[in-house]
Amino acid sequence: MKRNAFFLAWILLLFGAISVNAQQIIAHRGYWKTDGSAQNSITALMKADSIGVYGSEVDIWLSSDGIPVVNHDGDVTLNGEKLTVQDTPASTLRKVKLSNGEPLPTMEEYLDAFSQCKHTKLIIEFKTHRTKEREDELAEKVINMVHERGLQERVEYIAFGLHFVQQTRKLEPDALVYYLNGDLSPRVLSTMGLSGFDYHFNVLYQKPEWVKEAHALGQKVNVWTVNKPEDIQKIIDLKADYITTDEPLLIKEILQK
Ligand code: MG
């Protein structure tokens, strides 16, 4: 009897220890701060997968001819000329070279590469476009591509735009969808059926009570983009569930301590 009680206590302790270090890492624009990689490149996605993070984040735009493409900024530079991504056809955008020499990827190519990943989830950020119609077109096209490849269990969606998160929730009722803009409380997000928030760490420093509020509503808490050791420790102490970072290996190291 005593022996059983001892084992039970030991198992509870073990689970306690696991749940204390429950934070998961999301590589911001992939794992790009490493040799041969570049932000939002296919290499950065594969490198994120190779270091076993929970997720790899990526930014998506719709080209002028309706092709979802991968890029962070709203514009790119080609032969010294500045081009707005949403006003440029995909065939021109493809000529843009990332800093590691890769061509700017289309979402089709990116998802094909992601199909080969073994560990990481893909966190898809829809960038805010000029019109709601373009945003609807982008969300619908990307979600269809995800379904065609049977990847719906392995992707999550994020956006700063309220229209985007609501549209994604409508098109993909079972997906995890998070709002990025920092201005809405967990209670409001819950009325919209969202999975939680994904806010800048300064928002959390101002409103640490939102972590508890979110958890009480069954939501998850994500925080971006946490790179400095002192911020990483603060966010761990605040009990965020996911930490988005340009320094995935540093966070791994801190979590293992
Ligand atoms: Mg992003």
CA of 125 to the centre of ligand 1 (A): 6
The mean of the pLDDT values for the chain is 94
Whether 13 shows a pLDDT value over 60: the answer reads: no
Q: How far apart are CA 212 and CA 186, in angstroms?
A: 9
C-alpha distance from residue 210 to each of 39, 190, 214 (Å): 30, 12, 6
CA of 228 to the centre of ligand 1 (A): 18
Domain ranges of the chain: 25-256
CA of 122 to the centre of ligand 1 (A): 12
The domain 25-256 having CATH identifier 3.40.50.300: the answer here is: no
CA of 224 to the centre of ligand 1 (A): 9
pLDDT band at 18 (very low <50, low <70, confident <90, very high): very low
Find, among 230, 192, 234, the residue nearest to 211 by Cα. 234
The pLDDT assigned to 249 comes to 98
CA of 12 to the centre of ligand 1 (A): 38
Whether 5 shows a pLDDT value over 80: the answer reads: no
Over the stretch 202-222, which tens digit does the pLDDT of each residue have? Answer: 999 999 999 999 999 999 999
Find, among 81, 169, 187, 186, the residue nearest to 126 by Cα. 169
| Pair of tokens at residue 247 | 């320094």
Whether 12 shows a pLDDT value over 60: the answer reads: no
Whether 7 shows a pLDDT value over 70: the answer reads: no
The pLDDT assigned to 256 comes to 93
Task: Give how far the C-alpha of residue 159 lies from the chain's centroid of Cα atoms, to the nearest Å.
Answer: 9
CA of 139 to the centre of ligand 1 (A): 15
Would you call 118 helix, strand, or coil by DSSP? coil
The pLDDT assigned to 69 comes to 98
Whether 1 shows a pLDDT value over 60: the answer reads: no
